[in-house]
Structure 1
């Protein structure tokens, strides 16, 4: 009987050891305060660039014809831009520039939106994908057949892309609107059709795609919209929009031209090329 307490202790230890055996998960779960992490990672970007300093003076001179000829004081005022009114500059900033020349007016608007998910189970990037997808859907881009690209290059079968062919021929698309514009307001533009008739070399090569479309080489996702509208009774202006997403930031570029003469139509190809070039510079700025 003198050894009873020791025997009881040994038995208790044996029971304790046997109750602690089992899978590693069970042992982990039994630790106080151990909670499985379900919080999605934050977005890559925590801040936004200064919108009115996001475009260099050299680029603005190219995008705003006539600005380089202005007196220095006026030139600085144009290049300073006008910041957009926002209530949370950590989440959204924008800037607008505008100039008028004898042959017409040009304006540029750049908007930066940093998307933040308030759902701990949804990452900022995933939420940004949802926001971007809604913007792309709202643009109501024309449908393109498999094999078509944003440059109008031939597909695997050697044929020009369906979208580029439609632009050149002016044949109606699936939604009843012409390839160069839709019944919702994108008017068929003879200037765009004439530009798209050749590849720019004058040899009758593959047509270039100038219609609204998805861009496959800008940021994580991108699209281009091209809208020709009338301002007042006769004047026409064209706005090319390039929207792209890089991680949890969505950038919108709107580049508008309005010729002085009502008989002139803004050059779709030139505006699209310049808007896309600016988009590439902004993407590079995020990568630095």
Structure 2
């Protein structure tokens, strides 16, 4: 009988160690049915293209006609472009081209931005949608009654209706309502304004969302220059194309239709390249 307390004490110590091992188990306190946090999916794109090689030479020859008359060596330098200075080529890259001709100078730039969300609850695509939405809002595109821009930043209002571009497409230096007596009394100029389809607007069938801006400006006594910008988002990448023309003569106004068509064509080619 003298040994029974010792045996009881040994059993108690063994039981205590077993209980302590459960306390050290991180899953020991988990309750059945507790919610599991799942990280948001990453974006489709993990890298970006080499920007200065993203535009075929044939396209550059069309967009930069002033280079055609240069010696071959100078043409090569024009078409090589100049890479945008960036500190993280996995997140943002760009390239610039410029050509001068006796009648006009033209500038082309493209920028790729890969958006990454550092919030595990927010996907890269959702973060890119917010970034794109801020760009679209900043452009202040004119909106028709009842039409809402396709993407806006989370929690923000859509682009203000009736925004006026800096320059009206078609050659006039400011946007003004139509004075054509045949215009609709409600204020709509559909069918009466030949430049209606050239105004800054949302674009269809280009990436996940896209818009076009058209700006005509004059700096001092220099000739007016027009810049057409096409911005689109595809998954977590945002692409910006800017195409500018400045005629040599002060009296000339760059043609909207030509610049817009070429800028859109390039943007669509870049979108296809990204999708490959």
1:267 to 2:247 alignment = no
Note the residue ranges of structure 1 that are not aligned, 5 or more in a row: 1-27, 150-172, 198-203
TM-score, reference length from structure 2:
0.73
Partners of 1:189 and 1:278 in 2: how far apart?
Answer: 20
Residue aligning to 1:134: 134
Which deviations, in whole Å up to 9, do the C-alpha atoms of 1:36-81 show, x marking residues without a partner? 2420000000000000001010000000112222211001100110
Structure 1 residues 123 and 66 mapped into 2: Cα distance closer, same or farther (>3 Å)? same
Partners of 1:99 and 1:60 in 2: how far apart?
Answer: 10
Classify the secondary structure of the residue corresponding to 1:45: coil
State the aligned residue count: 220
Classify the secondary structure of the residue corresponding to 1:275: helix
Residue aligning to 1:87: 87
Partners of 2:100 and 2:256 in 1: how far apart?
Answer: 19
Q: Identify the match of residue 226 of structure 2 among 222, 235, 238.
A: 238
Structure 1 residues 286 and 100 mapped into 2: Cα distance closer, same or farther (>3 Å)? same
Partners of 1:244 and 1:129 in 2: how far apart?
Answer: 10
Q: CA deviation at 1:112?
A: 0.2
Structure 1 residues 83 and 143 mapped into 2: Cα distance closer, same or farther (>3 Å)? same
Mapping for residues 1-288 of structure 1, pairs under 5 Å: 30=32, 36-146=36-146, 174=162, 177=164, 181=165, 186-188=166-168, 191=171, 207=194, 208-288=196-276
Partners of 2:61 and 2:109 in 1: how far apart?
Answer: 15
Partners of 1:44 and 1:142 in 2: how far apart?
Answer: 31
Q: CA deviation at 1:35?
A: 7.3
Classify the secondary structure of the residue corresponding to 2:207: coil
Cα root mean square deviation, aligned:
2.7
TM-score, reference length from structure 1:
0.70
